[in-house]
């Protein structure tokens, strides 16, 4: 795991182009805030094809994540992400806790400070792979993978093309949002929504929607100074 301290636990989010511990803490804080803001929308999406608890579960989960980080302040990016993942697995019911928890844990175990843009892209891909394995899902199944996989690809292409950090996150966020919207005409093949068969068509997948929101938070945090 990326457990070595990066010696940056203050307000600086980037240090010579690398992502600091403070950046990852701020990312989770922004996620918690945006999940709270969009809680009802996420729950409404889940009410159409699921258990109507996605927004509430994530709100509770990320609130617990912030408490865990406050109780045991991390000193390295990997510690931030593993703590978040562990908390989500323990505190969030349904499928979203284990899936998001596994994603953050996999990311945390993959990053090594200093976290470069390429290092983050590789860690993000590891998170997506963890979701795909646990959920046995692939793009086109109408799940969070439909937002996360395009975002991961966008990050990888940004690294290849030498795109800056903020622009790379903007490209990833756009890809995730487009991926989430693309789930609307799909028929669900995984999860509770799959029980609805053709009735799942015409609804945005709540997991894809929350995934797009989480990726968009990277843009917000990277825009700060």
Quick check: 2 and 78 in contact, CB under 8 A? yes
Please write the tens of the pLDDT for every residue from 84-124. Answer: 999 999 988 778 999 999 999 999 999 998 999 999 999 99
* In the predicted structure, residue 154 carries a pLDDT above the cut 50: yes
Torsion over CA of 121, 127, 130 and 134, rounded to 10 degrees? -140
Please name which of 114, 108, 113 lies closest in space to residue 130, comparing C-alpha atoms. Answer: 108
Q: How many Å apart are CA 135 and CA 177, to the nearest integer?
A: 20
Residue 53 to residue 18: CA distance in whole angstroms: 36
Kindly report, residue by residue over 164-201, the tens digit of the pLDDT.
999 999 999 999 999 999 999 999 988 878 778 888 89
Check if the beta carbon of residue 52 is closer than 8 Å to that of residue 46. Answer: yes
User: 77, 20 in Cβ contact below 8 A?
Assistant: yes
Q: Which CATH number fits domain 18-222: 1.25.40.340, 3.40.50.300, 3.40.50.10330, 3.30.750.24?
A: 1.25.40.340
Mean pLDDT of the 119-130 span: 98
- Residues 6 or more apart whose CB falls under 8 angstroms from that of 179 comprise 139, 146, 147, 148, 149, 150, 151, 208, 212
Q: Is the pTM of this model over 0.75?
A: yes
Domain boundaries, the chain: 18-222
3: pLDDT strictly greater than 70: no
The proportion of the chain whose per-residue pLDDT surpasses 90, expressed as a percent, equals 80
pLDDT-derived band at 225 (thresholds 50, 70, 90) equals low
Q: How many CB atoms lie within 10 A of CB 48?
A: 16
């Amino acid at each position: 795991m990326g457990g070595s301290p990066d010696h940056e636990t203050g307000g600086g989010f980037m240090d010579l182009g690398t992502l600091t511990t403070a950046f990852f803490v701020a990312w989770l804080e922004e996620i918690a805030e945006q999940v709270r803001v969009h809680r009802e929308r996420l729950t409404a999406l889940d009410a159409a094809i699921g258990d109507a608890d996605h927004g509430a579960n994530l709100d509770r989960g990320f609130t617990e994540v912030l408490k865990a980080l406050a109780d045991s302040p991390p000193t390295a990016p990997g510690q931030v992400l593993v703590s978040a993942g562990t908390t989500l697995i323990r505190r969030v019911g349904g499928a979203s806790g284990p899936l998001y928890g596994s994603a953050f844990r996999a990311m945390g175990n993959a990053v090594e400070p200093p976290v470069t843009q390429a290092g983050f892209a590789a860690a993000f891909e590891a998170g997506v792979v963890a979701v795909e394995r646990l959920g046995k899902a692939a793009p086109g199944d109408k799940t969070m993978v439909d937002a996360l996989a395009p975002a991961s690809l966008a990050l990888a292409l940004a690294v290849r093309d030498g795109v800056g950090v903020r622009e790379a996150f903007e490209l990833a966020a756009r890809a995730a949002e487009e991926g989430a919207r693309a789930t609307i005409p799909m028929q669900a093949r995984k999860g509770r929504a799959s029980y609805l068969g053709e009735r799942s068509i015409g609804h945005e997948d709540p997991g894809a929607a929350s995934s797009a929101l989480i990726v968009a938070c990277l843009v917000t945090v990277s825009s700060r100074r």
